[in-house]
Structure 1
Amino acid sequence: MTTYLHEDRLQSVLKAIRDSGAARVLDLGCGDGDLFVRLALMPDLTELVGLDICTASLDRLRAKLRQLDVQAGKVDVRHASMIDPTGDLAGYDCAVLLETIEHIDPDQLSRLERALFRVLRPTTIIITTPNAEFNPLLGVPSHRRRHPDHRFEWDRARFRQWCGRAAVVAGYTASFHDIAGAHPTLGGASQMAVFTRT
């Protein structure tokens, strides 16, 4: 079941993809396909590749895709890591990381940064991640994270610092958005950065 906040998150990312004008999209950490299935049905997309390291999630996604009327050759689902992508995925219009970076060990973030901004180097990169400032509204105690598999959860200042530095170094501009709800001082349940290659 999709919660209101998750639906709002998905709609925000879909709008950012549409606004970018992308036709070829990478869904990095596609999981069971909450976003991927919606992208597969978008007529403006001509090529869609999903990567995930969880084979069970990919099996569930493939089962969903078999139920859809998707143009032959449009979608490709791969068991692979986003921090070690293959060169054939370079140069896509857009790469999306929907609530995935928080599952990566902090000491691996430099590898992710290199993979995104140096190896893949798409025209647009969209990253969403939980906003730690919003956790009290979700009943998450200060000593815990939202999910046991989260390796970290950043507040908005820390997220913007990481994204801003990565963007400048790699020749991108970054814009930031509170998504999945909107508290006047705590922001949204999630936060989104949209990077555009300059």
Structure 2
Amino acid sequence: MPHPISRFPVPTLEALPDDLRERILAVQEKAGFVPNIFLALAHRPDEFRAFFAYHDALLLRESGLSKGEKEMIIVATSGANRCLYCVVAHGAILRIYEKSPLIADQLATNPMKADITPRQKAMLAFALKVCSDAQNVGESDYAALHAHGFTDEDIWDIGAITALFGLSNRMANLVSLRPNDEFYLLGRVPKAAR
């Protein structure tokens, strides 16, 4: 018997508003499966729309951060928040972007020991501070990032990604969101072997 993907009801595709169904089917066509986050959040269509609107505005915009660096932030802070879904799902995306089967596990457990650049370690140190100690972020934190070439807009992106996934991590844990089995091998095993 398959494990439930959420402790809350998961609507069928046929029962969803057209815009949600179209978005989910587009993701399925691109990925080859539907990530469970889409199905779980479809339980509340207005919140689905709001979450993915902010997600897309933040993660799809041009930035001083690479796609891989954005995923590094997600994986490291999701590890700190003990979010299985986001570590597994975004770990897969990160492995693909960085072409590294090791990086996601390293970042989810101890980012400061990961095989990344000093600049990326500074980025993640800041993200982890925003994640767990945001009230103490100060000028010295900004100065440390500026010394590595980050702009204030980059710093906003680091903080905003951390904050968005703080929400995502908490919701995923709240609903007991189960990662898709497909995520575990992505970026680890060549596509033909899966």
Please report the TM-score for the alignment, with normalisation by the length of structure 1.
0.34
Please identify which structure carries the higher strand content: 1
Please report the TM-score for the alignment, with normalisation by the length of structure 2.
0.34
Q: Give the greater-gyration-radius structure (CA).
A: 2
Please identify which structure carries the higher helix content: 2
